[in-house]
């Protein structure tokens, strides 16, 4: 199979670039990875295990759409080595699922979730709020239903309109009516935090909630600004090679990536990241976390300290806290995270 061979080739190439690194997680994500045949997943994991030393508690996650085709493969995915499922349910309301462009129904999503529980100890699913014509009380009820379903992890994203996306284009054409204003969106965020805390799923990141140690270890690598290899169409990576941190981007068109990978390199870009961009990425990722960032690591990356005057100013506004050399956003600071980061990056 061409696709399997191309992925195996890319795994081999990355093993030569960063040999002997301890591997903590594998994430099959982007697009519809759960349409990948289980035997292909098994072959890729076998090659990965042979290519790097593994952490004792290796986490292997598969993103899955909550449809009948994907759910029918859950047993085979578990046999192949998947240990965690992340499902894109997004809404528990059929009308809103259609508005979000989702093909599954609420009934199908719940059925897929129940099947997943038979085969996986760790199951996460995504929900989107601040949707069209959604009231505060409606979100409270829907979140309560989601919390009753949840096993140990929930990802709860506020709907945002980004230029250049399908939603952005629809918004520009006047096609997204009934979106909540900033005050209602803020209330929805606050209720989300309150209900999740009460249910024992505390926020460890702006949009992610977990019980105990059920955080997504793979996503923590991103947020803690660790290294990761991106393999497959459109995949992004961050790898430190010989002391230089590099950004990699694979070809996004599947056929283009396939041909490039068969020719020895699926990446269309691999370049060093400037100190300025590393500093920006470190702040943008790390301050999303409840644990915040290590001030010493900030200094190591940026070769400078965050100006004390800016820190004091943000502390006085109850947006940041500096505790035992860690800089953390407060609950208010996470709500205004983009503004906090702008202040830090613009500090003289």
Over the stretch 248-298, which tens digit does the pLDDT of each residue have? 999 999 999 999 999 999 999 999 999 999 999 999 999 999 999 999 999
Is 283 a domain residue? no
- Residues 343/310, Cβ–Cβ less than 8 Å: yes
Is the same domain home to 253 and 140? no
Q: Are 185 and 178 contacting, i.e. CB atoms less than 8 angstroms apart?
A: no
**Distance (Å, rounded) from C-alpha 309 to C-alpha 304?**
14
Same domain, 264 and 313: no
Confidence at residue 65, expressed as pLDDT on a 0 to 100 scale:
86
In the structure, what pLDDT confidence band is assigned to residue 88 with cuts at 50, 70 and 90?
Answer: very high
Q: Verify that 183 and 203 share a domain, yes or no.
A: yes
Residue 176 confidence (pLDDT): 64
pLDDT at 246 over 70: yes
Same domain, yes or no: 315 and 174: no
Q: How confident is the model at residue 229 (pLDDT cuts 50, 70, 90)?
A: very high
Cα–Cα dist 252/266, whole Å: 10
Answer whether 88's CB lies under 8 Å from 126's CB: yes
Local confidence band at 348 (pLDDT 50, 70, 90 cut-offs): low
The stretch 110-137 carries a mean pLDDT of 94
Q: Is residue 289 part of a domain?
A: no
Kindly state the helix (H) or strand (E) to which residue 326 belongs, with its residue range: strand 326-329
Judge whether residue 141 has pLDDT over 70: yes
Distances (CA, A) of 101 to 69, 90, 146, 195, 252: 18, 10, 20, 27, 22
Q: Kindly state the average pLDDT of the residues 217-234.
A: 96
Kindly report, residue by residue over 312-324, the tens digit of the pLDDT: 999 999 999 999 9
Residues 130-134, mean pLDDT to the nearest whole number: 91
Domains: count for the chain? 3
C-alpha 87/C-alpha 90 separation (Å) is 9
**In DSSP terms, which residues pair with 125 in a beta bridge?**
87, 154
CATH number for the domain that contains residue 119: 3.30.750.200
Are 229 and 307 contained in the same domain? no
Is 13 within a domain?
no
- Domain identity same for 47 and 161: yes
The predicted pLDDT at position 161 comes to: 62
pLDDT at position 173 over 80? no
Domain boundary among 180, 204, 222: 222
Residue 2 lies in a domain: no
Query: For residue 180, what pLDDT is reported?
Result: 85
- 286 occurs within a structural domain: no
Q: What is the mean pLDDT of residues 201-223?
A: 95
Q: Which residues, in sequence order, are CB contacts of 47 under 8 Å at separation 6+?
A: 8, 11, 12
Domain that holds residue 245: 224-275
Sheet containing 122-129, strands listed edge to edge, beginning at the edge strand earlier in sequence = 23-28, 54-64, 84-90, 122-129, 153-158, 208-210, 202-205
In a domain, 16, yes or no: no
The answer to whether residues 155 and 77 belong to one domain is yes
| Residues 105 and 202 reside in one and the same domain | yes
For residue 128, which of 192, 197, 198 has the smallest C-alpha distance?
192
In a domain, 280, yes or no: no
Domain end among 177, 192, 222: 222
Mean per-residue pLDDT, 96-117: 92
In this structure, are 125 and 254 located in the same domain?
Answer: no
Residues 42 and 162 in one domain: yes
Q: Residues 215, 231: one domain?
A: no
pLDDT value of position 266: 97
pLDDT on residue 164: 58
Asked if pLDDT for residue 31 goes beyond 80, the answer is no
Q: CA–CA separation, 43 vs 111, rounded Å?
A: 28
Q: Tell me if 52 is assigned to some domain.
A: yes
On whether both 327 and 197 belong to a single domain, the answer is no
217-224: long-range contacts, CB 8 A cutoff, minimum separation 24: 217/24, 217/25, 217/59, 218/24, 218/25, 218/26, 218/27, 218/59, 218/61, 220/289, 221/24, 221/25, 222/285, 223/285, 223/286, 223/288, 223/289, 224/285, 224/286, 224/289
* Chain mean pLDDT for the chain: 91
Q: pLDDT tens across 319-347, in order? A: 999 999 999 999 899 889 999 999 998 87
How confident is the model at residue 100, as a pLDDT?
87
pTM over 0.75: yes
């Amino acid at each position: 199979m061409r696709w399997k061979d191309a992925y195996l080739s890319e795994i081999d190439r990355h093993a030569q670039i960063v040999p002997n690194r301890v591997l903590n997680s594998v994430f099959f994500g982007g697009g519809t990875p759960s349409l990948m045949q289980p035997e292909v997943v098994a072959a890729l994991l076998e090659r990965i295990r042979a290519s790097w030393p593994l952490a004792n508690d290796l986490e292997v996650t598969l993103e899955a759409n909550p449809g009948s085709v994907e759910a029918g493969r859950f047993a085979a995915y578990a046999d192949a080595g998947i240990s965690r499922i992340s499902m894109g349910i997004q809404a528990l309301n059929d009308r809103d699922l259609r508005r979000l462009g989702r093909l599954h129904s609420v009934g199908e999503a719940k059925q897929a979730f129940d099947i997943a529980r038979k085969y996986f100890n760790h199951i996460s699913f995504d929900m989107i709020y601040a949707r069209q014509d959604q009231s505060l009380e409606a979100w409270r009820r829907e979140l309560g239903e989601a919390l009753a379903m949840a096993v140990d992890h929930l990802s709860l994203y506020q709907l945002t309109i980004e230029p250049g996306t399908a939603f952005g284009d629809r918004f520009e054409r006047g096609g997204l009516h009934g979106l909540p204003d900033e005050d209602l969106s803020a209330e929805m965020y606050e209720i989300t935090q309150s209900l999740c805390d009460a249910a024992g799923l505390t926020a460890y990141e702006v949009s992610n909630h977990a019980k105990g140690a059920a955080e997504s270890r793979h996503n923590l690598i991103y947020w803690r600004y660790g290294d990761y290899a991106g393999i497959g169409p459109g995949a992004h990576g961050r790898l430190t090679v010989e002391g230089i941190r590099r950004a990699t981007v694979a070809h996004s068109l599947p056929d283009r990536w396939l041909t490039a990978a068969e020719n020895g390199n699926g990446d269309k870009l691999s370049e060093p990241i400037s100190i300025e961009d590393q500093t920006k990425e470190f702040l943008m990722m790390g301050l999303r976390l409840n644990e915040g960032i290590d001030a010493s690591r900030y200094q190591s990356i940026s070769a400078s300290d965050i100006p004390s005057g800016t820190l004091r100013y943000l502390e006085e506004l109850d947006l940041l806290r500096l505790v035992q050399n860690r800089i953390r956003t407060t609950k208010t600071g996470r709500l205004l995270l983009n503004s906090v980061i702008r202040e830090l990056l613009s500090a003289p």
